[in-house]
Amino acid sequence: MRYDAASMSDQPHASEASADATLKLTSPLSELPGVGKRRAQILRRLELETLADLIRHLPMRYEKELAEGDIDQLSTEGIASVRGVIAASRFVPAYGGRGKSRFEATLVNQGQRLSLTWFNAGYLQDKIHPGLPIRVQGQVKLFQGYPQMINPKWEALEALEAAPAREEALRPVYPAAEDMPSTMIHKLIAEALPKVLDQLVDPLPADYLREREMPSLADAYRMVHLPAHEDEPAFGRRRLKYNELLLLQMGIVLKRHYNQTRLIAPKLKWNEAVDQHIRQRLPFALTESQLHVTRQIAADLQRDEPMNRLLQGDVGAGKTAVAVYALLMAVADRRQGALMAPTEILAEQHFQSISRMLAGANVRLALMTSGQSKPGSAQRKALLDQIAQGQVDIVVGTQALLGEAVQFKDLALVVVDEQHRFGVAQRAAFREKNDPSQAEHHDGRLRSPHYLVMTATPIPRTLSLTIFGDLDVSIITGLPPGRQPIITRVVGPEKSDDVYRYITGRVAQGEQAYVVLPTIDESGQEQAVQLKSVLAHEKLLQDKFFQGYKVEAIHGRLKPADRDAIMNRFRSNQTQVLVATTIIEVGVDVPNATIMVIEHAERFGLAQLHQLRGRVGRGDHGRKSLCVLIGDPTSEESAKRLEAMAATRDGFKIAEVDLEIRGMGEFFGTRQHGAAPLRVARIPEDMDLLQMAKRDAEALVARDAELALPEHARLRRVLLQQYGQSLGLVDVG
């Protein structure tokens, strides 16, 4: 699933018939009347650049403006509007020059009184005076039984009865900026929307919508932005959510269909003997859960439909052994496998542990990283030749494996470890890694390797359905036997000296520690709070606490070779304390490291903290591992998160809590994972709509997989716009 595609799924799609309209959905907002350079700039800060962006900028709530009424009917619910004549007014200066000044007035109509107060509004003295007929609008409060409005909006009337009465209305409230208030955004939308409504292409046929009691896309946007009735916003929004979810599910279902019908993968041989042989290679017996998962994978690999599976398992659950099992199935069938890791450190670690596992076996294993061989070097060329000629069975590497020069003789399986991005593009790229002369099967299907993605980011069920819907999911539950418990403590920053003093004692007993910080050095820090940094902390720890021991720092700005050297010194216990950024978050496995300290813990996401904690508690040495979260949880939210970390070690539970607290957009963190996949719909609240969209998408594809029926033409066009060619849809124009 491609995030960027999904994130666009409620985007209004421009129709071709709009060429003569002056304003288009793609028009920059500066073309709107009243939007000059400055306003356009402010709007850009709200990520609003085009008219389509503006239309997609949905209200976060509505304020009810009651119809203009009489003072004696004023209620304290919602915004009210009344008119009357000012009977009295006075200015009350700030007391002793401090606090706020007040301007007070009394409005009277037919003997009823409403008191009005404006703070810091001395200028009103010149404008509002007894005898003036005005209309005010604001929230009503009862003060000692009498109605009152604080800081109401007001307008002077010519005469008390002159202006027509205000009608009841819903006023949308938009996410806004200080210099671009919600009212201004509303004004812009109210002006622009009617001009472009007929340019919105509705991907769904009218009958289809009628059956589901849903409005057209144009109506839905109108209802959300310019509601004529109280029920309209929810009605319109439901359609927008459905649209987004349906397009997402169509993408998923079509991709799956494409995978099944247009691609072909090698059927890998598997039987008792193969199974026994592979399992004897592993240095331990697989757990029940690992075994169950390998059975699922083995079943996939025996079919000629490419496997497309996500293997989830908490940190330390033993995913590598499962990957090795699958890779050995490829080797047993005399084909090749590749294992791709996100960093050099991890690739190397996998290479070493797999080498150990396969010692003495007749399997040719190679490592391809820039540390192992520089791109373009003679050594790299030799390696590439071996891969191309099938003299290597399993290649472990980084993204470099996707490089242009890499060509396999017969790549049957790709395993991608600790993947966060799950790109379709990547999967497609691996499809081109085989002999191009053999790219097509005789029946026209394209050859593709099987694909296994592994992640330790536990993904709640509700989410995996949305985002990874085109992947089959396997889950390793539990941890291998002999795993040591991890004690987690949350402490305030004032305790950090005590923490390090305690750790000194444990290091003296031969244990090792990680200390994680959010930044490398002080440069570029603008925050009011100075964050402790890796480099400063390395020095502090070395000089103040760990004099007789070696402290080293590791971070992303180091050269890969230096990083490897540091990692190796830590692995062999020449270094006792490793001060690091989150670079060590994934996969690093040093069993003797039993202590994890995370400074500024409130700055990390829960999933990230969980990953980091998973670096300890790995050995079978019988020592109790410790994770100390040093945090200053200033918000209730971060306090809740840190508590959740201390309360459980179950990654799935942590993920659910994280999802609950931060919502889906934040769950993955945009930096690492791309834009949030949904804009309008909310998971899990909109689960019922999601299920409906899923059923509908499946029914649509079952009936018309090519979307060739005339009533599906617009849907096809919109999907092509959103996903490009990756769904295998033909663009017939």
Q: Which residues bind Mg ion (CB under 5 A)?
A: 587
Q: Smallest distance, Å, CB 479 to ligand ADP?
A: 8
Could you say whether residue 342 binds ligand ADP (CB under 6 A)? no
Does 480 interact with ligand ADP (rule: CB under 6 A)? yes
For the beta carbon of residue 640, count every other beta carbon within 10 angstroms. Answer: 15
User: Nearest to residue 587, comparing CAs of 614, 555, 554, 566?
Assistant: 614
Long-range contacts of residues 34-40, Cβ cutoff 8 Å, at least 24 apart: 34/187, 34/188, 34/191, 35/188, 39/180
Task: Report the alpha-carbon distance of residue 326 to residue 270 in Å, rounded.
Answer: 11
Position 233 contacts ligand ADP (CB under 6 A): no
Q: What is the DSSP string of 85-144?
A: EEEEEEEEPPGGG-S--EEEEEEEETTEEEEEEEES-GGGGGT--TT-EEEEEEEEEEET
CA atoms of 73 and 79, how far apart (whole Å): 13
Q: In this chain, which of 59, 318, 605, 674 binds ligand ADP, going by CB under 6 A?
A: 318
Of the candidates 74, 107, 265, 321, which one interacts with ligand ADP according to CB under 6 A? 321
Which residue from 9, 11, 294, 320 is in contact with ligand ADP, where contact means CB under 6 A?
320
- Report the distance separating Cα 236 and Cα 139, nearest Å: 27
| DSSP SS3 for 366 | strand
Place of tokens 């920053």: 493
For the bound state, the minimum distance from the C-beta of residue 570 to Mg ion, rounded and expressed in Å, comes to 18
Q: Which residue is nearest to Mg ion (CB)?
A: 587
Q: Residue 270 CB, nearest distance to ligand ADP (Å)?
A: 20
Supply φ then ψ for residue 658, to 5 degrees: -60, -45
Among 552, 472, 463, 542, which residue's Cα sits nearest to residue 500?
542
* Residue 350 Cβ vs ligand ADP, minimum distance, rounded to whole Å: 9
Contact status, residue 455 vs residue 471, Cβ threshold 8 Å: no
C-beta of 518 vs 587, nearer to Mg ion? 587
Return the number of the residue (417 or 686) whose C-beta is nearest ligand ADP.
Answer: 417
Cβ nearer to ligand ADP, comparing 317 with 520: 317
The DSSP output letter for 394 is: E
- 3-state helix, strand, coil split of the chain in percent (to 5) is 40, 20, 40
Nearer to Mg ion, 587 or 677 (CB): 587
CB 300 within 8 A of CB 307: yes
Kindly state whether residue 611 participates in binding ligand ADP, applying the rule CB under 6 A.
no
Should residue 319 be labelled a site residue for ligand ADP when binding is judged by CB under 6 A?
yes
DSSP state string for 662-725 = HHHHHHH-HHHH-S-S-SS--TTTTHHHHHHHHHHHHHHHHH-TT--SGGGHHHHHHHHHHHGG
Q: Which residues pair with 200 in a beta bridge?
A: 14
Stretch touching ligand ADP by CB under 6 A, among 30-38, 283-291, 399-407, 420-428: 283-291
Q: What angle do CA 624, 293, 421 make, to 5 degrees?
A: 80
Partners of residue 234 on adjacent β-strands: none
Is residue 297 within the footprint of ligand ADP (CB under 6 A)?
Answer: no
- 239 interacts with, out of Mg ion, ligand ADP, none, CB within 5 to 8 A per kind: none
458 versus 605: smaller Cβ distance to ligand ADP? 458
Any idea which residue has 């200066």 for tokens?
A: 93
Only one residue has tokens 């790219």, namely 439
Cβ contacts of 4 within 8 Å, gap of 6 or more: 674, 675
Pick the closer one to ligand ADP by CB: 106 or 592.
Answer: 592
Closer residue to ligand ADP in complex, CB, 12/316: 316
To ligand ADP, the closest distance from the beta carbon of 280 in angstroms equals: 14
The answer to whether 317 contacts ligand ADP (rule: CB under 6 A) is yes
Q: Which is nearer to Mg ion, 317 or 659 (CB)?
A: 317
For 711, how many CA atoms within 13 A lie in the half-sphere containing its CB?
9
Read off the tokens for 446.
Answer: 């394209």
Please report where in the chains the tokens 């987004």 appear, as a residue.
244
User: Smallest distance from the beta carbon of 478 to Mg ion, in angstroms?
Assistant: 16
Residue choice 148, 289, 290, 575 for contact with ligand ADP (CB under 6 A): 290
- Match 């199935």 to its residue by tokens: 329
Name which of ligand ADP, Mg ion, none residue 716 binds, using a CB cut-off of 5 to 8 Å depending on partner kind.
Answer: none
Query: Is position 284 an interface residue for ligand ADP (rule: CB under 6 A)?
Result: yes
Calculate helix-pair angle for 636-647, 606-613, nearest 10 degrees. Answer: 30
In the list ligand ADP, Mg ion, none, the entry touching 321 (Cβ below 5 to 8 angstroms by class) is ligand ADP
Between residues 136 and 339, which has the closer beta carbon with respect to ligand ADP? 339
Q: Does 456 bind ligand ADP (CB under 6 A)?
A: yes
Using the contact rule CB under 6 A, the part of the chain among 311-319, 407-415, 602-610, 719-727 near ligand ADP is 311-319
Site string for ligand ADP, 543-582 (x = CB under 6 A): ----------------------------------------
The binding track of 484-523 with respect to ligand ADP, each residue x by CB under 6 A or -, is: ----------------------------------------
Position among 306, 313, 397, 449 found at the interface with ligand ADP (CB under 6 A): 313
Q: Could you say whether residue 311 binds ligand ADP (CB under 6 A)?
A: no
Closer residue to ligand ADP (CB): 8 or 357: 357
CB of 468 to ligand ADP, least distance (A): 18
Q: How far is the CB of 520 from ligand ADP (least distance, A)?
A: 26
CB of 611 to ligand ADP, least distance (A): 9
287 touches, from ligand ADP, Mg ion, none (C-beta below 5 to 8 Å by class):
ligand ADP
Residues that bind ligand ADP (CB under 6 A): 284, 286-287, 290, 313, 315-321, 456, 480-481, 589, 618
